[in-house]
Every structure is written in structure tokens, then in C-alpha cells.
Structure 1
Amino acid sequence: MIRIGVNGYGVIGRRIADAIRLQPDMELTGIVKVKADYKATLALTKGYDLYSADKSGQDSFREKGLAISGSLTDLVPKVDIMIDASPADVGAANKSVYEGFHKPAIFQGGEDHDIAGISFVAQCNYDKAKGHSSTRVVSCNTTALCRVLGSIDESIGISRGRVVLTRRAADPDEPSKGPIDAVVLDPVNIPSHHGPDVNTVLPGVKITTMAMKVPTTHMHLHTVILTLEDPNASEETITQKLEETTRVLLVNGKDGLKSTAHLVDLGRELGRPRGDIYEAIVWKDSICVDEQEVSFFMAVHQEAIVIPENVDAIRAMLGTKSRDESIAITNNTLGIDK
């Protein structure tokens, strides 16, 4: 069994911890929390061993009657690998702790590519992570773009990609970031960071991205326009390829799925934990090909899409399973159909 510690128990960390618990070849050794809040109580309720970020913080947990097993430096020696799900830019400070105990670590997309030297999307570059001491799972938007563009480029070829990202302004548990009554350019300059981030995984794809924030917590929405290399590509061939691509879900507006709110409801009705949708979601009836150019809409559940990548990154770094084996196990345990 692979022993894993998760540093950070917020939006992503909680989901990673739950996903690890479902894996037949992994065990969750402990989770690290900064605050002794309701999330810490829930972690203990689930049977997770709780650690504080530092030794000085342990008293705050004990004062609230929460069982604390130690601090981060007590957890790291017990594990085979750490997953850092702490807030953006905090992971860089934690890296020295993991290195001090000679433990490999997985970081999230809020960190720069340089923190690990490899950025990871399972179906695109799984084998490159093997043996690395650090790996960075890219952000939610980059994960979705890599899955979809990587599949199309591999089979049909992309000569140029252009993507407009309409981003949610905040996660549901971040009321301090809103409300806002504006559409905020994020950033004003072009390209946004998403295109260069895609190129850390898919260096051969030419892509320009631009982004804005809107006052919603329900997912991101991408408007994707791709110039194709294959002059014979059609809506049918694009649709067929995406239907065959793992962790890509095609939905149809004719079925009443016409908004991100509908997709959130779909996730709930599918019985997914927290209503999570781990797949990149493409509207099938938006796929349009015109003179070697395909356009479509894609939604990204920012809270969930990177969870299977974190699980697969563990096996990739430690070399315990092949890409296809790991993806199949992770998909099965998380209820992903393909």
C-alpha cells in the first residue's frame, strides 16, 4: 500500500483525501490543517488522522477538543509521498520540508511550473513523471484544455487554438470574494496564463487564451476555436474522437443542459460526492466545423476536475502502474464511465 499525506484540507485537499481512501493500492496516513474549524472536525469524523501545519498550532486544536496526531514534520516521515493542496504559493515554502525528509511531493496548479519542472495531465504525459521527486498537477482550466486539445491534436492535428475563458469569480465556500457586479478582465493583457500553462504539458500546440471573471460560483466556461490540420475533419469525426477520450463528457443542450447550473444539478443527480464532475464537459450540439475550423463550448468543474490527476500522479511518480492501468483504477473508483 502507498502511504500518502495530504497537506491542506480545503476545496481540493478534501476531495483528494476522499479519493485516496477509495483506491485499492493506497492509504491516507494523515491530513494537515492550519485552522481548527468545522473542516477539521469533519476530517476526524471520517477517521482521518489530523496534523497541524506547525507544532505551535497544535494547542488551538486541543483547546477545541480535537484529537491532533502531531504536526507536518511528524507526518512527512510516515508517508511514501506528500500531496500539497495548500493555497497558491504556499507549496513553494512547504517543498523544503518534504525535501528535508527526502519525500516526493505533488503540487497544485496554483504553483509555478518551476516548482517541479514537470506539469502533469495523466492522459497526456503520464510516463514523464516517473522517478521525479516533484510533480505539479496543472490547474482546472489547463487540465480540461490538455485533455481535449491533446486528444484532437493527436488524431486530427491542431495548427492554432484560440480559447476565451469565462471564469467563475469564486468557489462556493469563498463568500469573502464576492459579490461583485462586474465582468472583470483576468487579466487585461493577452494571452492569459492558461495558454502558456497548456504548453508546459503540450509544447507542440499553438494556443492563445484570454480570460474574464463573472459573478458566479458554478464552473468555468470555455469558448474554444481550433484551426485543424486535417482538411477532411468534420463534426462527426471531432465528436467521435471526444466520445472516445477518457475524462471528457459530452452533453446535449437539447436534453435541457443549457447552463453550468444545469451541469451542477446533473452531477448531484448522478450521485457523485458533492455533485462533482471530474470530466471536461463539452456540449455536443455546440460542435461546429467550418473550413477546417472547429468551435465548441466546454465547461470545467473547478472543484473536481484535477482530483483524478492527483491520484494518477502518485502512481506515475512511484512507477507502480502503467498509464492505462492507473486511469482505469481511478476512473472506476470515482465513478467515471470512461
Structure 2
Amino acid sequence: MKNIAVIGYGVIGKRVADAIKRQDDMNLIGVCDVISDWRIQNAARKEYAIYAATQEAADKMKSEGISVKGNMSDLLKIADLVVDCTPKNIAAENVTLYKKQNIKFILQGGEKHETTGHSFSAENNYQSAINLDATRIVSCNTTSILRTLSALKRAHLLDYARGTLLRRATDPWESHLGGIMNTLVPEKSIPSHQGPDAQTVDPDLDVITTAIKVPQTLSHLHYWNIKLTKQTTKEEVLNAFKTSSRIKLIRYDQGLVSNNTIKEMFMDMGRPWGDMYEVALWEDMLMIQGDELFYAYVVDNQAIVVPETIDAIRALTGIETDGVKSILKTNNSLGI
């Protein structure tokens, strides 16, 4: 059993904390943040040990009736590994502290690859992460790219890939603070950052992405055009995708015609927050013409990286040295 700390109890942090609690080979020893509102209050209701990142945060938490067990340094002293889920760029500042205290750490995809020197996707490079001091879970979109393209690559079907990403404007709970309305905002650079990010995990991928921010918050939507290595059948392509336990094939003709209907399905399945840890790929939309493959899928930006994070904990701490076994264990615990 390894002692795991979560720094940052936001959209990703709360999900990672809950996922850790579902595992039988790791302990959630505490969560740390600066907030004192309903978010950290819910963590206290779950009887998670609460730590404050600053003295000011501790004073505010105590004024709200939250029992504060200690500060961030106190939490790190008893942790074997820390999962940093703080907002973009804050985690990079925390790295100095983690290194000073000689503690293993995992960052999320908002940070640069160079911050850890290793980027993680469980089905791709679990073995290379075993007993490392640090890794970075690639972003939600990059995770989906790696899962789908790697499945095709394993089947020796992938020549090169070109994808267009329709990106949600903001997280659902922050819709009142920002986002966009009545407009579409193309990412200025081609390729967009997701393609090069995927290559930090698999440098051999020939992938180019473009991205457009759209006025909705439920999920991302990807369209892909794949140059195949040979002419093949739809069945062979679907069988390739089925080699990933984290790709869920869905059907348009079953009423799953949009991201809101897909979200409703996962809520009906009883997933916490209606989370979709899998890539939801339309099998009846998938089409092959000659040596070209076309398909589309949906990505839950709040949930897809959660199982990856659990697997990364096992790899870095050496709890499990077999990636397949870790993935299966994580899947079973989360209902994938």
C-alpha cells in the first residue's frame, strides 16, 4: 500500500481522489487546496483529510468550520507520491518543492512535457514509467488520440492521421465565468498542440491536428481522416479499436446522436458525475473509402485522464509492473 496525496481539489483532483479511494493497493492520505467553499467542504463530508496550501487558506477553512489537518509540507512528509491537479502553471511551480522533498509526483496535461521529461498513456508506455520519479498525464484530447491511433497502429493499419478537434469552451461548472457564445474560435497554429503532444509519448506517430473552440461545455468532438497502410474492411478496423478496453463503440442509430445524449447514457449507467472514462466512438458512422478511414468520437474532458492517473501511480511507485494488469484493475474499480 502506497500513500498518495492529491494537491488541488478541482475538476480533476476530486475525481482522482475518489478513484484512489476505490483502489485496494493505495491510500488517499489527504487533499490539499487553497479553497474553502463548497468544493473542499464536500471533501470534508467524505471524511478526506484536508490540508491547506497556505496559512491564509488554513485560517479561511477553519473559519468555515473545516478541520485542517496541516499544511502542504505536512502532507508531503507522509506521502509516497503526490498527484498535482492544480491549475495550469501552478504545478510547475510546485515541482521544486517535490524535488526538494524527494517525493515522486504526477502532473496533468496542462504542464509541459519538459517539466517531467516523461509523458504517460497507460496503453502506450506503462513500462517506461515504472519506478520513475515523475511523469505527466497527457491532456484529455491527447489521451484520446493516443488510444485510437495506437489501436490502429497495433493492427498495422496506421500510415498517417489528420484530425480536426471541436473543443469545448470551458468546464461546465465554470460556464458562467467564461467561454464563448455565438462564435467559433480556431486555434491559430497548425498543427494544434495536441498532435505534437501525442508525439511526446509516441514519437513515431505521423499525426497533424487542427482545433476549433466551440460554444458548448459538455465534451470535445473529434473527426479523423486516416491514411491506411492497406485496403481493409470495416470489421478489421473495429476489431482493432476493440483491442483497447478504453474505447467504447457507440451507435448513432441507437439514439446516441450528440454529446448530450451520450452524457445522459453515462449518467443512467450510474457513473459518478456521469463521467465517461472511455473514448465514445461511433461505429456506424465509421467509413472506409479505398485506403482512407474516416471516423468521429467524443471525449469527456473531465474524466478521461482519471484511469490514466491511477495507472501512473502504480507504475511510478512500482505497485504493479505489468501494465495490462494495472489497466484491468483500474477498469474494474471504475466500472469501465
> What TM-score does the superposition give when structure 2 sets the normalisation length?
0.98
Q: Secondary structure at the match of 2:211?
A: strand
Shift of 1:211: 0.2
Partner of 1:202: 202
Shift of 1:179: 4.8
- Which whole-Å CA distance do the structure 1 matches of 2:59 and 2:151 have between them? 50
Q: Secondary structure at the match of 1:211?
A: strand
| Residues 151-300 of structure 1: pairs in structure 2 closer than 5 A | 151-174=151-174, 175-185=176-186, 187-229=187-229, 231-300=230-299
Partner of 2:303: 304
Partner of 1:124: 124
- Which whole-Å CA distance do the structure 1 matches of 2:61 and 2:271 have between them? 31
Shift of 1:178: 3.2
Tell me, yes or no, if the aligned pair for 2:20 and 2:27 is still in contact at 8 Å: yes
Tell me, yes or no, if the aligned pair for 1:30 and 1:49 is still in contact at 8 Å: yes
- Which whole-Å CA distance do the structure 2 matches of 1:279 and 1:178 have between them? 25
Partner letter of residue 133 of structure 1? D
The share of aligned pairs that are identical, in percent, is: 38
| Residues 66-77 of structure 1: pairs in structure 2 closer than 5 A | 66-77=66-77
- Which whole-Å CA distance do the structure 2 matches of 1:239 and 1:219 have between them? 23
Q: Secondary structure at the match of 1:94?
A: helix
Partner letter of residue 101 of structure 1? Q
Shift of 1:74: 0.9
Shift of 1:319: 1.7
Tell me, yes or no, if the aligned pair for 1:62 and 1:68 is still in contact at 8 Å: yes
- Which whole-Å CA distance do the structure 2 matches of 1:240 and 1:161 have between them? 18
Partner letter of residue 91 of structure 1? A
- Which whole-Å CA distance do the structure 1 matches of 2:232 and 2:91 have between them? 43
- Which whole-Å CA distance do the structure 1 matches of 2:242 and 2:138 have between them? 23
How many residue pairs end up in the alignment? Answer: 334
Structure 2 unaligned residues grouped into runs of 5+: none
Task: Write out per-residue CA displacement over residues 225-272 of structure 1, whole angstroms, 9 at most, x where no aligned residue.
Answer: 11011x232211001111232100000000000000111101101111
Partner letter of residue 333 of structure 1? S
Q: CA RMSD in A?
A: 0.9
Q: Secondary structure at the match of 2:290?
A: coil
- Which whole-Å CA distance do the structure 2 matches of 1:292 and 1:319 have between them? 42
Q: Secondary structure at the match of 1:257?
A: coil
